[in-house]
């Protein structure tokens, strides 16, 4: 969501951060992999061709990059990382702690976190409502 408006470098760094987050508890689940594929499609074909699909050696460098980014960029990155864990039925506390650490380092308030989470809940509700309407 909104990944397409990030710069080329921000997109690549986001993908690296997302890979680190889903790997924090082991291999990505099938659902996490599908969400990552959707996010890959959103960042664009040029980025897909350039991305190596492996974890960078320095997670700290990636986090530091976003600490220096503009607030809207931090919010977009955090929103999409939230989406990765909130839409998966398998809740993992390691992912939660990873995200909470990022939230603090990105200086995202609790209120902003709640607002971003609400967007994800609303998106999920719309998809569920559409499924019910289409099936009846």
Q: What is the fold of 3-135?
A: TerB-like (1.10.3680)
Domain boundaries, the chain: 3-135
In percent, how much of the chain has pLDDT > 90?
Answer: 48
Residue 90 has pLDDT above 70, yes or no: no
pLDDT band at residue 111 using 50, 70 and 90 as cut-offs: very high
φ, ψ (nearest 5 deg) of residue 23: -90, -10
Q: Which two tokens stand for residue 66?
A: 């976003």
pTM of the model: 0.86
Q: Rank 5-9, 27-31, 100-104 by mean pLDDT and report only the highest.
A: 100-104
Mean pLDDT for the chain overall: 86
pLDDT in tens, 10-65: 998 998 898 888 888 777 777 777 777 777 777 877 776 776 666 667 889 999 99
When comparing pLDDT for 31 and 131, which is higher?
A: 131
The yes-or-no verdict on residue 89 having pLDDT over 90 is: no
Give the pair of three-digit tokens for residue 23: 């790997």
């Amino acid at each position: 969501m909104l990944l397409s408006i990030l710069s080329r470098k921000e997109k690549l760094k986001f993908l690296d951060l997302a890979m680190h987050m889903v790997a924090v508890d082991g291999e990505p689940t099938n659902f996490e992999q599908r969400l990552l594929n959707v996010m890959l499609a959103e960042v664009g074909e040029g980025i897909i061709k350039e991305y190596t699909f492996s974890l960078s050696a320095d997670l700290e460098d990636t986090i530091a990059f976003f600490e220096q980014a503009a607030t809207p960029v931090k919010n977009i990155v955090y929103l999409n990382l939230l989406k990765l864990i909130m839409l998966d039925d398998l809740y993992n506390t390691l992912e939660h702690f990873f995200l909470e650490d990022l939230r603090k380092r990105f200086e995202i308030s609790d209120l902003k976190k709640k607002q971003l989470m609400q967007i994800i809940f609303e998106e999920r509700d719309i998809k569920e409502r559409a499924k019910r309407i289409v099936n009846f």
